[in-house]
Structure 1
Amino acid sequence: MLKTVVSFIVVLGLLVFIHELGHFLFAKRAGILVREFAIGFGPKIFTRKRGETTYSVRLLPLGGYVRMAGEDPEVLEVKTGTLVYASQTSEGKIDHLYFYEPIGLDRELMVGRIVEIDWEKELFVCLETEDEQEVRYDLHPTAILHVDSKNEMQIAPWDRQFGSKTSGQKAMTIFAGPLFNLVLTVLLFILYTSLTGVEYRLPVQLIQPNSPAQQAGILPGDEIQGVSGKKVDTYDMLRYELLESGGKEVILKVKRGDQLLDIPVTPQKIGDGYIIGATFNQNQMLRDATLLESIQSGFKATYNWSVVLFEGFGKLITGQVSIKSLGGPVQIGEVTGKVADAGILPLVRWAALLSLNLAIFNLLPIPALDGSRLVFIGLEAVRGKPISPNKESMVHFVGFALLMMLMLVVTYNDIMKLLPS
């Protein structure tokens, strides 16, 4: 159990970190102030501030986020007449503004009451001094507002906010998360192929008695090359095409010596999948991969599995696949534990598939996901002006609520699958 939990946290943590790293790096590249880089949700269990950004690890390891200035409304109400304490740089600009009386500071502070303040556009604060004079001071672009002894906020001038950037910069910042997961997927598949070899053929070694393969006349030594017109050269692709058949007859393209045969076979349902009752010679399925072949295999596996996932999402939307078939965190954790028990190589492959799932799922135009945010940015580019922030926030809020409901449903499905029947 402990190994399952640790494996799940490590794998999911890696995938989330890479995803959020994409958002983070492209936000910084666009000049956006990143307030927090978080792994997980809920209460903080680790936090450290470096430069402008707070890096945190939170209790629930089920996601993460990069909080960018201006992405959501930043509300800090400052009333006229509020007593504040301020420090200045050598150029006379205010770099720290305290909304309480700080104790034990080694810098000189001036005191005044706020008459007017603008920390987004004009960057100034007008203070009424003790002798009732109104004095205007410039705010430093990185000035810190100290709300109380535990909470502070760096100001975000308009040019450092998400909303000030071009549609292209915003789109790349959002798209970078799924993009980084796609890159990670390719790299993990490249690593897997370089360590295991390249799978390039499906030579039959044994035929199970009374199996569909035996009844169809498939023999040891045959090589399966296709299923119903689709080329297959890996065991995963064969399994997928058999699953797609739903138990209906398929035509196997079989090489026997110098002959190419079309052999009809009706797969047999076993558990959640379908088989034909043939086992394959592992030694003859694989050969050592060159660096170029490993790279090609990484891209090819990513493409093939992307097609599979998109087809799966399509069937879910059209009702061909029941929502009961979806797996959530519990099932992912269980499978991750089993894969970890099988060794590091199966875990690398499983991590690649999870990373691809995360990338593609996030690109779907579902409210609260990256795909939906890209749709809004696209509409902004077409209209020449952004959608109302309130309307967009409402769409994402409703979408997030629906996603949480979906998560509850699939988690319930997971638990019911684990319970004895």
Structure 2
Amino acid sequence: MNTLLSVIIIFGLLVFIHEWGHLYFAKRAGILCREFAIGFGPKIYSFKKGETVYTIRLLPIGGFVRMAGEDPEIIEIKPGYEIGLVFNRSNRVSELIINNKSKHPEAHVVQVEKIDLEHELIVEAYNDEGVRMQYEIDPKAQLIKDEQATQIAPWNRQFGSKTVGQRALAIFAGPMMNFVLAIGILIAFALMQGMPIDEPRIGEVTENSAASEAGLQEGDQVVAIDGQPLDTWVEMTEIIQQHPNEAITFDVERNGELLSLPVTPQERVGQFGEAEGFVGIARPTEFNLLGSITFGFTQTYTFMTMIFEVLGMIVTGQFSLDYVAGPVGIYNYTGEAAAMGIFVLMQWAAALSVNLGIINLLPIPAMDGGRLIFIGLEALRGKPIDPQKEGLVHFVGFALLMLLMIVVTWNDINKFFM
């Protein structure tokens, strides 16, 4: 139950902050955002605030912001249609009733001759007396079909009408907010737990761990392991990781006394699927506001370099599915992080946020990076790519991503449950 709750909170936060970045900068550019969604599939909860419908959907595998102009408008009015017009106090059309006109006795029923909902914002139609009239349409008029209201999207409110810079920022803002979130989580971590320092000193010791059984104590200064002098925490952990289930000797200084303690690291699965040792000790920390802020940025950068190392292995042909985790694998790792405590979970959440930001920026169709590539090509060409061709590329890319997701998920199931 704790694992499920942790997954819901972490993924909800990561997806929310990502999509909020898209929403905020799209709205700042004047783009009409029809929907802000967490998840995909059928709606399970929704409410409307301003021009945007906020929804939670059944499948928790991401989210989206539906901007006007990205998809064809679902309601089309052609010449010859009979529609009802409702006017506001400025004598502009505020509602266009597509069907069920009998439920709107206040509507003025006309037969459409010409209508432009994007540029001129007019409707020319014949009234009951057969006279052709022209009516102005309010820029925020609603199309009412089956008693469902959809706000019209004039050209200046559509995604495609904005400058290359405005559109690029609206797309880039999602991954950018994931990096900002990671930095914020890590700053909070350092302020609450203390800023990790790179000294070969024992921090908190986990109960019933190899370290506690060997007699290691918080505050012990590790001078050497198996006779090898140490200067940093990183050097110490590298030696520990290289000796799973193998006895090693810690030479520690405690209260001015030098002690030699044999320790046998336990075994666990490392970042790349290899066996590595661990003894159950935490890194030493200190409390420092400026240092905590610095730590937030530097640790985020460290996470980035680790992810790019893995991506580099994939590019150079050293690819292995062990390097990739799908929903099942991430669920399992999140459970392990939650079991280790809130501070481990915070670092895991920050790493996931950085990972989400980077993966979304890769030049893959259907991802933010793929969309940025098309915007960049438009800037170079001086004109946009054919929307149908771009849509086809994104569709194929999305299908391949779903296929990869299925393969990775099956690999996770085999790894953890079979």
Q: TM-score, normalised by structure 2?
A: 0.84
Name the counterpart of 1:322: 320
Distance in 1 (alpha carbons) for counterparts of 2:357 and 2:177 = 8
Q: Deviations over 1:164-196 (max 9, x none)?
A: 000000000000000000000001111111122
SS state of the match for residue 49, structure 1?
strand
Give the partner amino acid of 2:5: V
Name the counterpart of 1:312: 310
Residues 253-264 of structure 1 aligned to structure 2 (within 5 Å): none
Matched, 1:59 2:66: no
Matched, 1:167 2:156: no
Give the partner amino acid of 1:144: Q
Name the counterpart of 2:95: 96
Residues 12-411 of structure 1 aligned to structure 2 (within 5 Å): 12-102=11-101, 108-149=106-147, 151-203=148-200, 218-219=225-226, 222-225=229-232, 232=234, 235=237, 238=238, 271=269, 272-273=273-274, 275=276, 282=282, 285-411=283-409
SS state of the match for residue 359, structure 2?
helix
SS state of the match for residue 405, structure 2?
helix
Deviation, structure 1 residue 319: 2.0
SS state of the match for residue 61, structure 2?
strand
When residues 55 and 280 of structure 1 are mapped into structure 2, their CA distance, relative to the original with a 3 A threshold, is: closer
Deviation, structure 1 residue 102: 4.2
Give the partner amino acid of 1:66: V
The answer to whether the 8 A contact 2:266-2:278 is kept is: no
The answer to whether the 8 A contact 1:82-1:114 is kept is: yes
The answer to whether the 8 A contact 2:101-2:107 is kept is: no
Deviation, structure 1 residue 350: 1.0
Name the counterpart of 1:418: 416
When residues 219 and 33 of structure 1 are mapped into structure 2, their CA distance, relative to the original with a 3 A threshold, is: same
Deviation, structure 1 residue 100: 1.5
Deviation, structure 1 residue 418: 2.2
Deviation, structure 1 residue 224: 4.3
Deviation, structure 1 residue 223: 2.3
Q: TM-score, normalised by structure 1?
A: 0.83
Deviation, structure 1 residue 234: 8.8
Q: Deviations over 1:87-136 (max 9, x none)?
A: 1111211010001234565x832111111111001101112111111111
SS state of the match for residue 225, structure 2?
coil
Distance in 2 (alpha carbons) for counterparts of 1:274 and 1:195 = 31
Deviation, structure 1 residue 202: 4.1
Of 337-346 and 154-163, the range deviating more from structure 2: 337-346
Q: Name stretches of at least 5 consecutive residues in structure 1 with no aligned partner.
A: 210-216, 227-231, 248-255, 257-266
Distance in 1 (alpha carbons) for counterparts of 2:278 and 2:145 = 69
Give the partner amino acid of 2:398: F
Give the partner amino acid of 1:326: V
Give the partner amino acid of 1:314: G
Deviation, structure 1 residue 382: 1.1
Distance in 2 (alpha carbons) for counterparts of 1:4 and 1:270 = 19
The answer to whether the 8 A contact 2:21-2:173 is kept is: yes
Distance in 2 (alpha carbons) for counterparts of 1:343 and 1:198 = 17
The answer to whether the 8 A contact 2:36-2:65 is kept is: yes
The answer to whether the 8 A contact 1:204-1:219 is kept is: no
Name the counterpart of 1:264: none
When residues 52 and 356 of structure 1 are mapped into structure 2, their CA distance, relative to the original with a 3 A threshold, is: same
Distance in 2 (alpha carbons) for counterparts of 1:219 and 1:368 = 52
When residues 37 and 281 of structure 1 are mapped into structure 2, their CA distance, relative to the original with a 3 A threshold, is: closer
Give the partner amino acid of 2:372: L
Name the counterpart of 2:219: none
Give the partner amino acid of 1:157: P
The answer to whether the 8 A contact 1:204-1:280 is kept is: no
Distance in 1 (alpha carbons) for counterparts of 2:278 and 2:122 = 76
Distance in 1 (alpha carbons) for counterparts of 2:377 and 2:170 = 16
Give the partner amino acid of 1:403: L
Give the partner amino acid of 1:389: P
Deviation, structure 1 residue 338: 2.3
Distance in 2 (alpha carbons) for counterparts of 1:152 and 1:54 = 11
Distance in 2 (alpha carbons) for counterparts of 1:218 and 1:5 = 39
Give the partner amino acid of 2:73: E
Name the counterpart of 1:4: 3
When residues 345 and 204 of structure 1 are mapped into structure 2, their CA distance, relative to the original with a 3 A threshold, is: closer
Deviation, structure 1 residue 233: 7.2
Distance in 2 (alpha carbons) for counterparts of 1:384 and 1:368 = 22
The answer to whether the 8 A contact 1:85-1:101 is kept is: no
Identical pairs, percent: 47
Distance in 2 (alpha carbons) for counterparts of 1:97 and 1:315 = 57
Alignment RMSD (CA, Å): 2.9
The answer to whether the 8 A contact 2:179-2:357 is kept is: yes
Distance in 2 (alpha carbons) for counterparts of 1:84 and 1:270 = 68
The answer to whether the 8 A contact 2:38-2:62 is kept is: yes
